[in-house]
Every structure is written in structure tokens, then in C-alpha cells.
Amino acid sequence: MSRTPAHDAPRRLHLNVNILHSGFVPSAWRLEHADPHAFVDVGHYVRVAQIAEAGKLDAVFLADNAAIVDQIDFRPITALEPTVLLASIAAGTTHIGVIGTASTSYNEPYNIARRFATLDHVSRGRAGWNVVTTADLASARNFGRDAVPDHAERYARAAEFTEVVKALWDSWEDDAFVGDKEGGRFVDVAKVHPVAHRGRYFSVQGPLNLPRSPQGYPVLVQAGGSADGRDLAARYAEAVFSASQSFEESAAYRRDLNTRAAAYGRHGGVKVLAGLTTIIGATEADALRRRDELVDRIPWRYSLNRLAGTLGIDADRLKLDAPLPEDLALPGGGNGNHTFFHATIAQARRHGYTVRELIRSLAGGTGHRVVVGTPEQVADDIEHWFNGGAADGFNLMPDALPDGLGDFVDGVVPILQKRGLFRTEYEGTTLREHFGLARPDNAQWWRKSA
Amino acid sequence: MSRTPAHDAPRRLHLNVNILHSGFVPSAWRLEHADPHAFVDVGHYVRVAQIAEAGKLDAVFLADNAAIVDQIDFRPITALEPTVLLASIAAGTTHIGVIGTASTSYNEPYNIARRFATLDHVSRGRAGWNVVTTADLASARNFGRDAVPDHAERYARAAEFTEVVKALWDSWEDDAFVGDKEGGRFVDVAKVHPVAHRGRYFSVQGPLNLPRSPQGYPVLVQAGGSADGRDLAARYAEAVFSASQSFEESAAYRRDLNTRAAAYGRHGGVKVLAGLTTIIGATEADALRRRDELVDRIPWRYSLNRLAGTLGIDADRLKLDAPLPEDLALPGGGNGNHTFFHATIAQARRHGYTVRELIRSLAGGTGHRVVVGTPEQVADDIEHWFNGGAADGFNLMPDALPDGLGDFVDGVVPILQKRGLFRTEYEGTTLREHFGLARPDNAQWWRKSA
């Protein structure tokens, strides 16, 4: 068994922080104490991770893109490559997990298996890989393609990619390394196995050129909202980052995901960590003031373009004081970002928002839920979602970094701890231990082929 | 001008350390104080780098392979991925450069441009990229190929790959980043340029999704000994790692390389850093004893297999007490490692060695020069090569790590400093400054296409 069944232990709340450079709100870099250079400053990322570690959070999370996919005239973007940056972060911390995004669309499985296994070695067991496919045209054009591979193709490749990576991670038996100085035997080569994979997308002979990593292999994370994305998550993911606007949606998503996982023989439960942007104030009025101050500094042109991009329409179809157009369809025949497309529309429809109200409620982002309030109110929200089964935890996206995370760690974490919802000390040193996941045994696929 | 002409300043000696896991000699992991796990222990690499930094060395260097290409039953291998490991090393040091190897054969230029630019950002200007092609079958089979692409093909791809990477590194003008909080302008998008490359191997639209890095771009390093390799180095490399067994060979190589570079309009001189394994003792007898102790712990079967691999022949054609066979030809119709093939044969022929004597003189390695002696003798050798124009410096490969490097830093460096050959303090904080290279201006290729 590679996983502690849910009924063996009380459920634990898990909290990651998504270090979105200067913060979730596109104008965060314009705040008085913000450093506009933060998005390429390793010191900024390490400081944020240290604050998260002081708050006993499970992990830091880094998103990724392989192109400029936002409007850089107005705001910072995901720039630094996650695995290299996470190695820096790991060096500046001791316990917190380090989860990085890497695309299966424009990488090779051998390279990804190696880089994340290396990250697991250098962090001494704190690595996670967020498996994504890449749907934007700008990225496709950076890798020799004039069009985005279609949705089904991307996910078929992602599944085979993940299979190969997992096989490579298991290509050394746990006791293959001997290190017998006297006898002169370094590795027992009978315990290092070729993968010999020949598939539709990849041919990979293996074995990997490094031993199994401290966690067995890095924690597998996924973030897809489409049917194909959920299926991929159900097959492989140990944790999922979701974007649901309502408690009911999120609870339904979690049930669906776990039903799908059980169909693959995975009964331990996939941890659903819901995206959550927090805007915190000492009073609710302070929090709302902070929200308005941040949103007011986002140019409308930016917000309209971004919303139009999510919805796959021209920006001039959006009128600030009218509702969203009725005839919205997922961009590019299924090639848009399912998660954000549906979550954004759901938010607008549920509240009957105009475009202006929608943009304000999304705090300039798209799709992710925003909670504005006091530390107590934020803690109540988290408790409600967690205890009600809408989420196993949250992928926090503070409005601005580092101060938005500081407010969370100083204000919200102690309340969650007092209520017995969140750890007061790390109980282990690996990400698997934080997530309550056992170190997986060798898959032993080589026995089948022997 | 992107380079300080050689006649403006006195020549400076440059010293890197190649952190070959437990050390250059295959039995280094078996020494009394060695930790066999060192090859996957980040702490080991950081400690070695800190010793190198205490010795004011220019850089640490990491080789790489994308397969198991040595006999792991007998010895450690290159395992951890260099860019991730170098980020860890950069976090544990402040001045020393961090140079990593990455292959143009099994990567995408956009990914490599991004990873090394990220490494330059997180190290605050200390990154270098060692550009290699990959010639072994085991690696090919990890990336969907049943055969190694032929030599000319590999180098044609490498040249186009490097062009694209350089173009991406220059796709942001130095002042493209604005960061004007008041005006709300983050980046001047008119100063961020698509690459729009369409070539034989790659189509890459660009621009890169991060600003120019502290050094403008990472230092370009190359290590090819073949005609194609020298040509690639002459076009792009700012420093070259060479493997020459004799002073005359190395001097001729350096002249040839600089003649080739001049033909490409590059007149500043490419820095030739010769591979140098050191085995140091308080007396010459101590050093020889250490050499013998190390070599005696290498199984003959290992050494014979390895030598046979370099020469591209069956191991049973090698007789320990006979000279090398006469009829040796570069393996696989030009697909072997030119550098090591020729350097190994040159070593055997010059001294009239038997196979046993050759293996001893190579200290279990292949092709790289080994100097055995007191700190004074090692310093004399270095001074002779440097002053005589056979090298601009050395890529040190201590017999065993960390202690072989400790002996070099404690024993040899002070002598070189006393003789005025080597820095006593870092004069800058970037690798370019250590190497005496100016920060390159933007290439401004976008003006041509405008």
C-alpha cells in the first residue's frame, strides 16, 4: 500500500502557498512597500518561503509557463524556471515542501524524471511535481508548433509521459545502492532495471541515472478541471489544485475525483487543495478597503483583456456595466483552460454580476475564489470548507507578497491551530509526511517483464 | 565590444574545479574518510564548492550525462541534474561561478535558455552553460532514438541550438523592464522582441519569458576536441575545457582555436582551461604512494572496460602487459569522443606504455592529464603551462573530493598567489568578472528585422 487510508487517521488540513511573484492581484507590485523587481529576485521567493515555513505550511508551489501569457506591460509574470528556483528555496528552508510545475507537452520524460528526482535529493525529500499540459499558442510556437495540440492529444501524451516518469523513478530498487568500500561494490546492477518503454509518444530505454529519491518519488500533483484532466488526476495525482467558486461545486468536484480514483483502484483519497486568494484586514472594512485599493490600481484595459482571454472572446464584447455575453463557449474547440473558463462564468452567473462587479470580485484574477475579511472570517471560511468536505486544504494565493502571506501566517494560522485544525509543529521532514502520504514502495514492474 | 581584448590587461590564470562526485579517480569513494553516498548528497557538493570559494577559484563545473554511461557496479556516476544542483550550490556560496553542462542533442532551446537564465538570476550573475552534444547510444535510447545521430548532424543541431538560445537571451532589451509603480507600467513591450526563428532543427517564436540576466547572458563554455567541436567553440565559446596530454598539444590546440575564433571575427581570445587531475602529497613519494593506493583499489576489469570503451574496441583485445593495439580508429565512424580517444592514444604512444602502465598513468580515467607531486611541483607545472601559452587556466579534477581539493587550496593556491599568478581576493561578484569578460551588450538583432 502506498497510501494511508483516510479512515486510519483524522483528516488533516493542508495549506500551500502559491508564490505568484508579487502576489495574486495584478497590481500587487504597485503597493508602497512592494519591490517591482521581486518577480526575478531569488531573495523575495526565499523570504516568502521562510514566512510560510514559520507558519508550518505544507509546501510552496510554483506555477509555470513556457511563454509570455499575460500582459507584461501591466504586471509581473511567471518568469524564473521552477525547478531551479525551488532548489534555491530548498536551500533557504528546512521543512517546507517545494512543488514545481512542469509541462508534459514540451519536455521529455527522462529529463523531467531526472530534474524532479534531483530536486527531491537536494531538498532531502521535499519535492513535488505539478503535472500540466500546455494549451496556449504562444508556448506551442516556442517549441516548433504552429498550433496547439488538441485537448485529447495533450492528455494522452500527459498520461504516457507520467507513466514513463514513474517507471524511471522506480527503475532502481531501494537497496540497489550498496556502497561497500571493502568489497569494492558500489551498486548492485541486478537491482537497476531498464524501463524499455515503447509507446505512442515516447520510447525510453532507461534506467534513470540516479538512485531512488528520499521520498521514493516526488509527490505527484495535478490541476486539471476538464474530464480528461480529472481522469489524469484520478490515475496519478496524490494532491490536486482546484479552482471552485462555491462550496457545493468544490464538494462535488472532490466526490467526483475520488470516485474516479477509486475506479483506478486508488482508495486512499486524492487531496483536494482549493485555490484561495485572501485579502486580510484587521476589520472587515479594512480588508474591503485593501481590496478596493488593489483593484483600483489595475487598469481596466488589463482586466478586460484578461477576462476576454479566459472566455475566448474579443475584449470589445465585454461592457463594464452589462452582464457577460450569453453565448460563451470554451475557446478553441475545447482547448481553453476548462477550470478558469467555467469557474469565472459560474461566479458571474451566481451573483448576477456585471462585468465590472465580476472583475472586482475576482480581484483582477480569473476563476480563483477570493475571500476578503478579518483573520477570523478567513479561518471560518477555511474551517467550513474543510469540515464540510469541500476541500482537504488550500493552495493559498495571497493578494500581495510577502505581506499578504505574513498577515495569513500571523493572523489566520494561530486561529486554525487553536481550533485544532492545523499543525503547530512539523511532524516530519518530507512533503509526503506533511501530506500524510506513505513513502511508496518500488512498483516492481520489472518482475512482470522478468 | 563584448570582450576585453587580451592586450589591454595582463593575462590572468583561471581555475575551476570539476566536481566529479567523489573525485576523478574511480576508487575515490573507497578512501577511509569518503562517504559513498556523496554522489547524491547535496551537502557534499556545497562543501566542495565552499572549499573552492575559500581558494578564490573562478567556478565550479558540473559534467552531465543523460544515461548511465559508466560501470556503476564499481564506481559513482554523474547522477544529479546540474542546473538544479548548481542552484543549491549557488545558495551556499557568494562569489564562485557555477557552470553546468546541458546537451543540445536532447533538449529544447527555449527550455535551456530559460533554465540557465534562471540560474544566472538566482546566482546573481554566476552562471555558465557548457554546451555539449551527446554521442552515446544509451542516451539516444532514453530519447526515442535507436541510434546516435551522426557527428555532423549533432554539431549542426548544436550550432543552431546555441544561436536560438543566444537570441532568446537577447530578446529583452536591457532597459525593457520599467517597474513604474506610479504610472502603472511594468515592462516596455516595445523593447521585448520575438525571435521568430525558423531553422532546420528548430522553430522558436520567442521572446523569452524573463528579462535579461545579471551577466547579460550566462558564460558560454564548450569542450569539443573534434574539428566540428573546435568550430563550435570558435563561434560561440568564451571558455573551453580541453584535454591535452602534452604542453605542445595544448599550445597547438589553443593557437588553432584562437585562429578559428578570429576567422569568426572574435579577436579577444577564447580561454583554454585544460583538464588537470592532481594527486598531491607532502613529498613526491607521498604523492606517488597516494596515487598507487588509489589506483590499486580500482578493479582491473573496470579499467580495461573503460579504456576499451574510449577506444571503441572489445576489452579482450587489451592485454595488460602489451602496448595498445595498432589498428585503432575513432569509434562508430566518427561518433566517439574525439577528445578522449586521441588524448589517450597520445599518452600511450609518447611514453611507450603498456596497457597496465597507461591505466596507471591515467589514474583510472581516460584522456585527462594527471600530475602527481608536491604542491610546489603542481604549482610549477601550472606556471609552466600558463606562462608558456599552453593554457589560460585549468579545469581541476582532484583525485578525491573534498580532500584532494582541500590539498590544492591549502597547498598549491598560496604558492600561485605568492608568485603573482592567481588572485588573492575576488575582484567582482560575477563569473564574467572572474573570467575578465565584459557583460555583453544586447545583440540588437531585432534592428535587422525591423
Measured between CB atoms, which of A29, A84, A297 is closest to B87? A84
Binary contact (A66, B114; C-beta < 8 A): yes
d(CA A14, CA A423): 9
d(CA A276, CA B63): 42
Assigned superfamily of B10-279+369-449: Luciferase-like domain (3.20.20.30)
d(CA B374, CA B377): 5
pLDDT recorded at residue A166: 98
Q: How far is CA B135 from CA B128, B332, B345, in A?
A: 22, 10, 19
Closest approach of A81 to chain B, Cα-based (Å): 6
Q: Read off the pLDDT band of A9 (50, 70, 90).
A: low
Measured between CB atoms, which of A67, A138, A184 is closest to B299? A184
d(CA B367, CA B311): 11
Locate the domains of chain B by residue range. 10-279+369-449
Helix (H) or strand (E) holding A276: strand A271-280
- Mapped onto helix, strand or coil, the DSSP state of residue A186 is strand
Contacts of B76 in chain A (CB under 8 A): 186
d(CA B148, CA B145): 7
Measured between CB atoms, which of B78, B88, B185 is closest to A87? B88
Q: Is 50 exceeded by the pLDDT of residue A297?
A: yes
pLDDT recorded at residue A333: 58
Q: Helix, strand, coil % (nearest 5) of chain B?
A: 45, 15, 40
Q: Read off the pLDDT band of B8 (50, 70, 90).
A: low
Contacts of A64 in chain B (CB under 8 A): none
Please state the ipTM of this predicted complex.
0.96
User: Quick one: cell of B60?
Assistant: 565550479
**What is the average per-residue pLDDT within A284-306?**
95
Q: Residues A126-135, buried b or exposed e (16+ Cβ, 10 A)?
A: bbbbbbbbbb
Binary contact (B66, A115; C-beta < 8 A): no
pLDDT recorded at residue B363: 87
Binary contact (A142, B179; C-beta < 8 A): no
Q: Is 60 exceeded by the pLDDT of residue B2?
A: no
Q: What is the pLDDT of residues A397-448, one digit of tens each?
A: 999 999 999 999 999 999 999 999 999 999 999 999 999 999 999 988 888 6
Query: What is the average pLDDT score of chain B?
Result: 94
For chain A, the C-alpha Rg in angstroms (whole number) is 22
Beta strands A177-180 and A185-187: pairing type?
antiparallel
Q: How far is CA A41 from CA A22, A89, B128, B213, in A?
A: 10, 12, 19, 11
Q: Which long-range contacts (CB under 8 A, 24 or more apart) does B1-4 make?
A: B1/B438, B2/B437, B2/B438, B2/B440, B2/B441, B3/B238, B3/B266, B3/B268, B3/B437, B3/B438, B4/B268, B4/B436, B4/B437, B4/B438
Q: What is the pLDDT of residues B140-158, one digit of tens each?
A: 999 999 999 999 999 999 9
Where do the H-state alpha helices sit in B8-93?
42-54, 82-91
**What is the average per-residue pLDDT within B88-110?**
98
Closest CA to B116 of B233, B219, B223, B237: B219
User: Quick one: cell of B344?
Assistant: 589517450
Contacts of B68 in chain A (CB under 8 A): 192, 207, 209
d(CA A95, CA A123): 9
Distance of CA B445 to the CA centre of its chain: 29
Measured between CB atoms, which of B75, B76, B84 is closest to A84? B84
**Chain B residue with minimum CA distance to A301:** B184
Closest approach of A175 to chain B, Cα-based (Å): 13
pLDDT recorded at residue B260: 95
Number of H helices, E strands in chain A: 17, 13
Query: What is the average pLDDT score of chain A?
Result: 94
Is B259 within any annotated ligand binding site? Answer: no
Contacts of B181 in chain A (CB under 8 A): 29-30, 34, 36
Q: What is the pLDDT of residues A74-110, one digit of tens each?
A: 999 999 999 999 999 999 999 999 999 999 999 999 9
Is B231 within any annotated ligand binding site? Answer: no
Q: Read off the pLDDT band of A1 (50, 70, 90).
A: very low
Helix (H) or strand (E) holding B129: strand B127-132
Q: Residues A63-98, buried b or exposed e (16+ Cβ, 10 A)?
A: bbbbbbbbbbbbbbbbbbbbbbbbbbbbbbbebbbb
Q: How far apart are the first and last CA of chain B?
A: 22
Closest approach of B98 to chain A, Cα-based (Å): 13
Q: What is the assigned CATH class of domain A9-172+197-279+374-438? A: alpha beta
d(CA B52, CA B126): 14
**Chain B residue with minimum CA distance to A34:** B181
Closest approach of A287 to chain B, Cα-based (Å): 22
Closest approach of B196 to chain A, Cα-based (Å): 9
Measured between CB atoms, which of A84, A121, A145 is closest to B40? A121
Is B64 within any annotated ligand binding site? Answer: yes
Per the listing, cell 475571500 goes with A371
Other residues' Cβ atoms within 10 Å of the Cβ of residue B160: 18
Q: What is the pLDDT of residues A242-279, one digit of tens each?
A: 988 899 999 999 999 999 999 999 998 899 999 999 99
d(CA A85, CA A88): 5
Its sign, for the CA torsion B321, B327, B329, B333, is: negative
Closest approach of B403 to chain A, Cα-based (Å): 17
Interface with B, mutate which of A25, A33, A80, A81 (most B CBs under 10 A): A81
Binary contact (A42, B121; C-beta < 8 A): yes
pLDDT recorded at residue B334: 61
Beta strands A393-396 and A14-18: pairing type?
parallel
Of the listed ranges A326-335, B174-183, B225-234, the one predicted with least confidence: A326-335
Q: Is 60 exceeded by the pLDDT of residue B218?
A: yes
Per the listing, cell 500524510 goes with A436
d(CA B58, CA B14): 6
d(CA B427, CA A387): 59
d(CA B239, CA B15): 12
Contacts of B164 in chain A (CB under 8 A): none
Portion of chain B with pLDDT greater than 90, in percent = 84
pLDDT recorded at residue B3: 44
Binary contact (A204, B143; C-beta < 8 A): yes
Measured between CB atoms, which of B77, B186, B202 is closest to A144? B202
**Chain A residue with minimum CA distance to B72:** A187
**Chain A residue with minimum CA distance to B143:** A204
Closest approach of B190 to chain A, Cα-based (Å): 9
pLDDT recorded at residue A3: 44
Is A259 within any annotated ligand binding site? Answer: no
A37: exposed, middle or buried (Cβ count in 10 Å: 0-12, 13-18, 19+) = middle
Is A101 within any annotated ligand binding site? Answer: yes
**Chain B residue with minimum CA distance to A203:** B144
Binary contact (A181, B92; C-beta < 8 A): no
User: Quick one: cell of B401?
Assistant: 573530493
Measured between CB atoms, which of A40, A83, A202 is closest to B84? A83
pLDDT recorded at residue B330: 81
pLDDT recorded at residue A336: 67
Portion of chain B with pLDDT greater than 70, in percent = 96
pLDDT recorded at residue A270: 95
pLDDT recorded at residue A449: 57
Contacts of A122 in chain B (CB under 8 A): 42, 80, 84-85, 88
pLDDT recorded at residue B225: 77
Q: How many residue pairs bridge chain A and chain B with CB atoms within 8 Å of each other?
A: 197
**Whether A359 contacts A296, CB under 8 Å:** no
**What is the average per-residue pLDDT within A190-204?**
97
**Chain B residue with minimum CA distance to A37:** B179
d(CA A88, CA B93): 12
Beta strands B197-198 and B393-396: pairing type?
unpaired
Greater confidence (A199 vs B340) lies with A199
Q: What is the pLDDT of residues B294-317, one digit of tens each?
A: 999 999 999 999 999 889 899 999
pLDDT recorded at residue B336: 67
Q: Is 60 exceeded by the pLDDT of residue B4?
A: no
Measured between CB atoms, which of B29, B108, B207 is closest to A68? B207
Contacts of B77 in chain A (CB under 8 A): 209
d(CA A329, CA A127): 37
**Whether B155 contacts B247, CB under 8 Å:** no
Its sign, for the CA torsion A5, A7, A12, A13, is: positive
Q: What is the pLDDT of residues A348-379, one digit of tens each?
A: 998 999 999 999 988 887 778 999 999 999 99
Where do the H-state alpha helices sit in A170-246?
227-236
